[in-house]
Chain A
Amino acid sequence: MREIDILLVGVGGQGTILASRILAHVGQAAGYDIKVSEIHGMAQRGGSVVTQVRMGEKVYSPLIEEGRADVILAFEKLEALRWLSYLKPGGSLLVNDQAIYPVPVLAGLAQYPQDITGYLKAKVKDTVVLDALGTARECGNARAANVVLVGLLARRLPFAEDNWQEALAARVPARFLDVNRKAFAAGYGIG
């Protein structure tokens, strides 16, 4: 059983928490020890949010060290850049091609970096950029963008697709299950 460290980064309200629950559910079904860590409080007011998911035979620290994450799943591309140093050499960087401007940028006090995805691709070989919001909309609900990203992540983890389907059924409210199954399949298909 190998250790798997995954960082989910984004902006408050993007659905990182549901994504981490689905992930933890799959890990638990596969018999892993798991720790999930997130910071509440000020972060909920539009700040950066990060959820750390660690799986293995036995997990001690709930926190992933810099340079050690196997995968960074970024719900917003500036956040991918902010947390990039946490990715291990040879790790996977999965990025939603969405920009959410922080207030200092909106106020003209700071610049939103140009061509973030270009920089990420130049630095990390396994960088996948996708329009999760657009894909989710095509599936029927923009709010399922988080599950599109979970689908993309699933391809890189050692769990069977059936386990993911079961986790979706367990963690997504029944009335949104169909659209989320579609969203998952769309992300999974991108690979």
Chain B
Amino acid sequence: MKELMTGNVAIARGAFESGVTVGAGYPGTPSTEILENFCRYQGIYAEWAPNEKVALEVGIGAAMAGARVLVTMKHVGVNVAADPLLTAAYTGVNGGLVLVSADDPGMHSSQNEQDNRNYARFARIPVLEPADSAEARDMVGLALDISEEFDIPVILRTTTRVAHSQGFVEIKERVERSLKDYQKDTRKWLMVPAFGRMRRQSLGERLTRLLDYSEKTPVNFVLEGSPEVGVITSGISFQYVRETLPGASVLKLGMTYPLPAELIKRFAAGVKRLFVVEELEPHIEEFVRLLGLPVAGREFFPETGELSVAVLKRGFMAAGIIPEEKAVPVQSFDDMPAVPVRPPVLCAGCPHRGVFYTLHKLKLVVTGDIGCYTLGGLAPLEGMDSCVCMGASIGMSHGIDKASPELRGRTVAVIGDSTFLHSGITGLIDVIYNNGNTTVMILDNSTTAMTGHQEHPSTGKTLMGAAAPRVDLEGLVRALGVTRVSTVDPLDLSQLTEAIKAEVAASGPSVIIARKPCALLKREAKPPVTVDREACTGCKTCLKLSCPAISVNEKLCSVDPVSCIGCGLCTQVCKFGALVAEGGEAGA
């Protein structure tokens, strides 16, 4: 039976069929759905860890104990997990360990587009690159076999178009595997310098065997075609090559580290002109150049953003491979009216909205973080100055505090609940330990919202649906040494404003927890806000909230009763009482 599956669903299926019993990860687009699907199978254990480093450590431990393991994260998550990853290459595994790195060329939902094949080369571990869902499923099993045969963790690198595109996958039965025996072996697992040196040696030997394997593996294969043009490619780029040049010879590399030098040389010898087509960095191309082979790639295909059939056509035209006249005929729509952009926005009723409205109004410098709330940095809210990586807001705010007397006392760090638990806690410890003055706002909407509402350590539930102890955020920050801890309702603007003013003015560290569940999760049954069109002056102050339910209609404010959930924020912003929360705050 074949089923249409996304790459992510296929990876979960592959892990299940290959006898994986432990899965761990942290949510991140485009990787999130892998564990969300894997956790639904019987006979397995899966968890969200608080961050990717912990997830990989859980994976290494489970592999040491003899299980087959799946660890998932987005590309930037591997930066967080890099520390255990590079040494796990030394220790190796017992049960197979596959780490899925979901890269995001083009930055559909990420802050950068790093090419994580670099991690394979850096850590000296194999990387497999599927080109569609069927390969994604198959390569999980292959990665686990390689991991066990060569005693090494294996990266399965997907990209957004593989992770989120659906293709057919033939469903197979699960092959149950018993746990491998664990035997104490400190020379393998205890990485003190003396043993580390031995394992480094061993890694070199394992890589030599892997080099030989990469020459023979069935996932590195040649599609015979015209001897005029040969293209070496991997991952999703393979699909674009097949569609753009159906007659060309193709060397499709499913394993892109270590690379098969002899196979590449043989392929190059059989074609007149050799190209490498790969997304992001010239990983394969540089290797081919090091072999001394004449090859073209980067001069015709960009190294940023996604490739596509159109991009390949342009490149192969410039290279003289495709005649110019075969250019895609595109109808001209020069006279088209201007199409306004439709950027993502905070939802109607989002508890984050008032926070950024207030921070902007108070003219504070705001170091931000990663989550839905990053949208609070865009016009017209403009309540955020920076966003770098998970957890960066607190350390950056502390750095500003220590560097600039002028900015000291008017800087606030803003971070979500899941992000705080991911990597904000250590930043806060730094503030406390080093006598900082930072004000930290934890926007607690009780979920990991941006990636589609995943549980985390303070939601009271696990990935598999079990009840769990809830991390008490107030208790946690007090235990770290913060004495000024307050909890506010972010939909109460006066309470919020007073709390921010007081904590920014106070010396020493403080934490404000702005707590309200995500509007998409818990909807309070409140009637929509209505407009008193007599009272409305058309001042447009309410538009500064950037609420998708509010618009201006014939110069007066209008509220869409379908999308408005009656959060009442706009009624607090309107100076003329034109926005009315029916049966709202009166509470009588």
Please determine whether A35 and B165 come into contact, CB atoms closer than 8 angstroms. yes
Q: Which listed residue, B242, B339, B450, B548, touches A78 by the CB 8 Å rule?
A: B339
Question: B167 contacts the other chain (Cβ, under 8 Å)?
Answer: yes
Min CB distance, B536 to chain A, in Å?
A: 14
* Chain A residues, Cβ within 8 Å of B540: 108
Please determine whether B336 and A44 come into contact, CB atoms closer than 8 angstroms. no
Question: B343 contacts the other chain (Cβ, under 8 Å)?
Answer: yes
Could you say which of A83-91, A153-161, A173-181 contacts chain B?
A83-91
Could you say which of B324-332, B395-403, B429-437 contacts chain A?
B324-332
Please determine whether A103 and B308 come into contact, CB atoms closer than 8 angstroms. no
Q: What would 18 more interface pairs be, CB under 8 Å, given A62-B239, A107-B543?
A: A34-B167, A37-B166, A39-B109, A40-B29, A40-B109, A42-B344, A44-B344, A45-B345, A45-B346, A47-B344, A48-B342, A60-B242, A60-B243, A61-B239, A63-B308, A78-B339, A106-B552, A114-B337
Question: A66 contacts the other chain (Cβ, under 8 Å)?
Answer: yes
* 12 A-B pairs in the complex with CB atoms less than 8 angstroms apart: A36-B165, A46-B345, A60-B240, A62-B239, A65-B310, A84-B333, A103-B345, A106-B543, A110-B340, A111-B338, A113-B340, A123-B331
Known: A66-B330, A68-B328, A78-B340. A103 touches B546 (CB 8 A): yes
Please determine whether B30 and A40 come into contact, CB atoms closer than 8 angstroms. yes
Please determine whether A62 and B343 come into contact, CB atoms closer than 8 angstroms. no
Please determine whether B336 and A81 come into contact, CB atoms closer than 8 angstroms. yes
Please determine whether B340 and A112 come into contact, CB atoms closer than 8 angstroms. yes
Please determine whether B543 and A37 come into contact, CB atoms closer than 8 angstroms. no
Q: Which listed residue, B30, B337, B548, touches A41 by the CB 8 Å rule?
A: B30
A78 to B333, CA, bound (A): 15
Residue count of chain A within 8 Å CB distance of chain B: 54
A38 to B161, CA, bound (A): 8
Residue count of chain B within 8 Å CB distance of chain A: 52
Please determine whether B328 and A43 come into contact, CB atoms closer than 8 angstroms. no
Question: B372 contacts the other chain (Cβ, under 8 Å)?
Answer: yes
Q: Which listed residue, B30, B168, B308, B452, touches A33 by the CB 8 Å rule?
A: B168
A39 to B239, CA, bound (A): 18
* Per-residue A-contact encoding for B354-387, CB less than 8 Å = 1, 0 else: 0000000000000000001001000110000000
* Per-residue B-contact encoding for A58-102, CB less than 8 Å = 1, 0 else: 011111011110000000001101101101010000000000011
Known: A37-B161, A84-B336, A103-B548. A43 touches B344 (CB 8 A): yes
Question: B309 contacts the other chain (Cβ, under 8 Å)?
Answer: yes
Identify the B interface with A (CB < 8 A): 4, 29-30, 108-109, 132, 160-161, 164-168, 236, 239-240, 242-243, 308-310, 328-331, 333, 336-347, 372, 375, 379-380, 450-452, 540, 543, 546, 548, 550-552
* Chain B residues, Cβ within 8 Å of A44: 344, 452
Closest to B237 in A: A61
* Chain B residues, Cβ within 8 Å of A63: 161, 308-309
Please determine whether A107 and B242 come into contact, CB atoms closer than 8 angstroms. no
Min CB distance, A115 to chain B, in Å?
A: 8
A109 to B4, CA, bound (A): 42
Please determine whether A45 and B375 come into contact, CB atoms closer than 8 angstroms. yes
Please determine whether B240 and A39 come into contact, CB atoms closer than 8 angstroms. no
Min CB distance, B42 to chain A, in Å?
A: 24
Question: A149 contacts the other chain (Cβ, under 8 Å)?
Answer: no
Closest to A34 in B: B4
Please determine whether A35 and B331 come into contact, CB atoms closer than 8 angstroms. no
Q: Which 10 residue pairs of A and B lie closest in terms of their CB atoms, listed nearest first? A: A41-B109, A45-B344, A62-B165, A110-B340, A113-B337, A102-B342, A67-B330, A47-B344, A41-B29, A106-B551
Q: Which listed residue, B108, B331, B340, B347, touches A104 by the CB 8 Å rule?
A: B340
Please determine whether B337 and A119 come into contact, CB atoms closer than 8 angstroms. yes
A60 to B132, CA, bound (A): 9
* Chain B residues, Cβ within 8 Å of A48: 342
Min CB distance, B424 to chain A, in Å?
A: 22
Please determine whether A45 and B340 come into contact, CB atoms closer than 8 angstroms. no
Min CB distance, B556 to chain A, in Å?
A: 12
* Per-residue B-contact encoding for A18-59, CB less than 8 Å = 1, 0 else: 000000100010000111111111111111100000000001
Please determine whether A106 and B550 come into contact, CB atoms closer than 8 angstroms. yes
Known: A66-B328, A81-B337. A36 touches B345 (CB 8 A): no
Known: A45-B346, A108-B543. A37 touches B340 (CB 8 A): no
Closest to A114 in B: B337
Please determine whether A89 and B168 come into contact, CB atoms closer than 8 angstroms. no
Please determine whether B160 and A39 come into contact, CB atoms closer than 8 angstroms. yes
Closest to B540 in A: A108
* Per-residue B-contact encoding for A114-144, CB less than 8 Å = 1, 0 else: 1010010001000000000000000000000
* Chain A residues, Cβ within 8 Å of B372: 45
Known: A34-B166, A41-B108, A108-B540. A47 touches B336 (CB 8 A): no
Question: A167 contacts the other chain (Cβ, under 8 Å)?
Answer: no
Known: A36-B165, A106-B543, A108-B543. A89 touches B340 (CB 8 A): no
Known: A60-B240, A106-B550, A123-B333. A46 touches B167 (CB 8 A): no
Residue among A41, A42, A108, A112 facing the most chain B CB atoms (10 A cut-off): A41
A42 to B4, CA, bound (A): 24
* Chain B residues, Cβ within 8 Å of A106: 543, 548, 550-552
Min CB distance, B130 to chain A, in Å?
A: 13
A32 to B452, CA, bound (A): 31
Known: A60-B242, A67-B329, A84-B336. A104 touches B164 (CB 8 A): no
Closest to B555 in A: A108
* Chain A residues, Cβ within 8 Å of B108: 39, 41-43
Please determine whether A102 and B328 come into contact, CB atoms closer than 8 angstroms. no
* Chain B residues, Cβ within 8 Å of A190: none
* Chain A residues, Cβ within 8 Å of B543: 106-108
Min CB distance, B545 to chain A, in Å?
A: 10
Interface residues of A in 1-25 (CB under 8 A from B): 11-12, 24
Please determine whether A66 and B310 come into contact, CB atoms closer than 8 angstroms. yes
